[in-house]
Structure 1
Amino acid sequence: MTARPQSTNPLTTAPSTTPSTTPSVPARGPATAAGPPARFRDLLAAEWLKLWSLRSLRWAFGVSALALVLLNANAAVADRNNWPHYDERIRAGFVPYGAFADSFTNNSGITLMLIAGSLGAITVVGEYSTGLVRAGFAAVPARRSLTAAKAAVLTVVMLGYGAVVAAASFGVTQAILSGRHIGISIGYPGVLPAVLASALLAPVSALIGLGLGALIRHAATTIVANVVVLLLVPNFLRDDHYWSAVLYHAMPFRAWQRLREFGPPGLGPELPFPSTAGGSWLVLALWPLIAVLLAVVVVDRRDL
């Protein structure tokens, strides 16, 4: 007997796949695609953990702070040992200006600016070089908020770092100078604002480094740009011509120098275009503000 062929009528043939066995794909609405927006305090916590997760960064903070304090202490030891050989003119102007100059020397200020500017640049450039920035922006598409959180955490950390260095340097150096009875106290008129200016030098330099890092995105080039902006440019400017003096006084390094220079009238040379304390505070406020705004705008508008 010949087997009867099965019917090929589509109305009677059972389909091989039924709707009940087809996997369902849920509709992707706005909440499913992007998720709830990240809270700013969560971004701050994430940036805080990210910053302190680097062991090398913790070592950099500790070693550099100790080196800066020792650098200032060395200047105080030199003045303490050489005090018997100083003439009356030097002795007359040493307190308070010379005593405070030992608490935070020009060399320590230059070193602090280099360290802080480099650390601020690394917080941005390091993420671009490792590709971590892509993961961060994938998790948090709000680039401006993420960059603002990074800047806020960097400001707090560097402000604490600068305050520790400035306070420790002042305490150690004045304790050394007190052996010759030429030290000054923190309550001496003008000392506290000068110590505060020295502490602010760290976050100001770090935020400038952050802005340059977001703009350049290359480690070596950013470090060179930091050196040029923070240190080399002021060396080519002077106080003896108006426009040169205006640019000179607008540099963070010169603003810091102005705020730490106090003492008896006529102690320093007469300048044709002197800077003011109020203008110097404004310079230290505007530079980091402009740097952060630059970072936020550049990171938000440029491709990765």
Structure 2
Amino acid sequence: MTTVSLPTGAGTRLSRFTDVFAAEWIKLRSLRSTAWVLLCAFASAVTVGVLMANSEVGEWPRMSPAQRAGVDPLADPYLGFMVAQLIFATLGVLTVTGEYSSGLIRTTFTAVPGRRTVLAAKAAVITAVSVPVGAVTATTTFLIGQALFAQRHIGLSITDPGAVRSIVAATFYLVAVALVGAGLGVLLRHTAAAIGGLVALLFLAPQLIHGSAQWVIDIENALPGNAIRRLVSLHVEHGAPSMTHAFLVIAVYPAVALTAALVLIHRRDA
């Protein structure tokens, strides 16, 4: 990782946010792994989505009416986001833990004593990278998936209800999990531990927590994975949260993780 020295001339404010943001941007851009990680996220989301849609298109003539009714042409292409979410979250983790593991974080905090400014700049850089990549990933996934489903005349147009919402929600979700990763990176300061926590939250919990009891449904509706499924689906499952509730659930996780990180970052040694 490249060490970035901020100017120290007269009148220069080292903690000025724009300077710190520029430094963090250079750090992230200088890592070869950044481009590869983002490319893997894009490729996994699109590839899995294409395979899912293509499989359902191929099986369509042999499906019963009940099976056809269960096909969700809006949600099914987004299945690949189960992998992409972990990759985006890992990028957020590595943006923080990479400096802790290399010891560069001491240099960063020496150059910028305002640690919260550093964290805010890291979060801003992660957001600046995740938004365009997430938007391209979500849009490509939607368009290719719908082109495949159009062969069976069940594909959606970008103007159909829910289409734009799904793209916006999927982009928002990828940004949110990346920021959660950054927050956990500060809290745990260990790459494997942070990624393990993300796997449990984003992948395992939605797979394991199921039931008809109301308290189980409430837990399901509080998970980010369930929230994004609601936002990218045409079919609303029984007990599913409202769209507003789902957006709020996704927003709460990065807000809590980053708030906790802002509190603890000043209470620990680098």
TM-score for both structures, normalised by structure 2: 0.90
Tell me which amino acid in the other structure corresponds to 1:216: L
Task: Give yes or no for contact 1:239–1:274 (8 Å, CA) kept in 2.
Answer: no
- Structure 2 SS opposite 1:99: coil
Larger Rg: 1
Residue 216 of structure 1 corresponds to 188
Tell me which amino acid in the other structure corresponds to 1:102: D
Q: 1:85 aligns with which of 62, 80, 89?
A: 62
How many residues in Structure 1 have an aligned counterpart in Structure 2? 263
Task: Give yes or no for contact 2:44–2:84 (8 Å, CA) kept in 1.
Answer: no
Residue 65 of structure 1 corresponds to 42
Residue 101 of structure 1 corresponds to 75
Q: CA RMSD in A?
A: 2.2
Q: Runs (4+) of structure 1 moved beyond 6 Å?
A: 31-35
Task: Give yes or no for contact 2:92–2:180 (8 Å, CA) kept in 1.
Answer: yes
Structure 2 matches for 1:1-304, cutoff 5 A?
36-92=13-69, 94=71, 98-105=72-79, 108-263=80-235, 271=238, 273-304=239-270
Structure 2 unaligned regions, length at least 5 = 1-7
- Structure 2 SS opposite 1:185: coil
Task: Give yes or no for contact 2:49–2:141 (8 Å, CA) kept in 1.
Answer: yes
Tell me which amino acid in the other structure corresponds to 1:221: A
Q: 2:113 and 2:214 mapped to 1: Cα distance?
A: 47
Task: Give yes or no for contact 1:230–1:252 (8 Å, CA) kept in 2.
Answer: yes
Structure 1 unaligned regions, length at least 5 = 1-30
Tell me which amino acid in the other structure corresponds to 1:48: W
Q: 2:244 and 2:175 mapped to 1: Cα distance?
A: 19
Tell me which amino acid in the other structure corresponds to 1:252: P
- Structure 1 SS opposite 2:27: helix
Tell me which amino acid in the other structure corresponds to 2:74: F
Q: 1:186 and 1:239 mapped to 2: Cα distance?
A: 34
Superposition deviation, residue 235 in structure 1: 3.3
* Structure 1 residues 75 and 278: alpha-carbon distance in aligned structure 2, compared to 1, 3 A threshold: same
* Structure 1 residues 178 and 35: alpha-carbon distance in aligned structure 2, compared to 1, 3 A threshold: closer
Identical aligned residues as a percent? 37
Q: 1:37 and 1:52 mapped to 2: Cα distance?
A: 21
Residue 13 of structure 1 corresponds to none
Q: What is the CA deviation profile of residues 222-263 of structure 1, one whole-angstrom value per residue up to 9, with x for unaligned ones?
A: 111111222223334335223222222111111111112224
* Structure 1 residues 100 and 48: alpha-carbon distance in aligned structure 2, compared to 1, 3 A threshold: same
Task: Give yes or no for contact 1:76–1:177 (8 Å, CA) kept in 2.
Answer: yes
Superposition deviation, residue 34 in structure 1: 11
Tell me which amino acid in the other structure corresponds to 2:39: G
Q: 2:196 and 2:164 mapped to 1: Cα distance?
A: 33
Q: 1:136 and 1:60 mapped to 2: Cα distance?
A: 24
